[in-house]
Amino acid sequence: MELKDFNNRNIAPGYIFFEGEKAPENGWQIFKRIVKRSIKGELFVGLWIVFREMIRFDIHTVQYPAEKLEMSPRYRAIHKLLRLFESGNERCIGCGLCEKICISNCIRMDTHVDERSRKVVSEYSINFGRCIFCGYCAEVCPELAIVHGSEYENASEQRAHFGLKEDMLTPLDTFKAKQQQEFPGFGALSDNADEFVKKTPLAY
């Protein structure tokens, strides 16, 4: 390999090189170029193109507060805490992995053991002023409990502003209306997830 090959490495076969116009060498060539450029009518092509766009009226403006773009389900904005589809219980088991992995140290959770000897999350908060939306928390979560949502309007009056558990957890009425949605692919339950669910050993 020579240096030339390295310099050419991104060029697909069939790439057409344009050497550019040859610079005029004498007065006569300069004159010819001026005449050519003046008579060619390229300026009128430009006029026609903008006029055509005006007539077509194919406006691309989104009038933001009134209209909003639909975000992709994979959009990585404000977090959501999901519920189990079967029971409606919170998915979060309070393992604290997200708290540990968070590189900007913005997740905190409080857990306690309730009267049924189950570990439950009593408080869960994310400081969105620090969060960089890297997605590590969603990736590390073993229960698919914390995911990123498409709520992107998170401007606030202060640098530090918090999302609390009740803000991020799917509300029960939304859940009952079957509005809690997951998108397919990495990070979601597979289609045949039910086949892998086994009953507890006592039931055998």
Question: Residues interacting with another protein, by CB under 8 A?
Answer: 34, 43, 46-47, 49-51, 53-54, 57-61, 63
Nearest approach in angstroms of CB 44 to another protein is: 9
Please, which residue, 53 or 110, has the CB nearer to another protein? 53
| Nearest alpha-carbon partner for 138 in 78, 87, 72, 83 | 78
Please, which residue, 61 or 192, has the CB nearer to another protein? 61
Nearest approach in angstroms of CB 61 to another protein is: 4
| Nearest alpha-carbon partner for 34 in 45, 17, 21 | 21
Nearest approach in angstroms of CB 51 to another protein is: 7
DSSP bridge pairs for 119: 113
Burial status of residue 75 (CB atoms within 10 A of its CB: 0-12, 13-18, 19 or more): middle
Nearest approach in angstroms of CB 54 to another protein is: 5
Nearest approach in angstroms of CB 22 to another protein is: 20
Please, which residue, 62 or 197, has the CB nearer to another protein? 62
Burial status of residue 82 (CB atoms within 10 A of its CB: 0-12, 13-18, 19 or more): buried
Both tokens of residue 181? Answer: 């949605």
Please, which residue, 34 or 69, has the CB nearer to another protein? 34
CB 98 within 8 A of CB 146: yes
Within the chain, where are the H helices? 3-7, 27-39, 42-56, 97-101, 136-140, 165-168, 172-176
Please, which residue, 28 or 57, has the CB nearer to another protein? 57
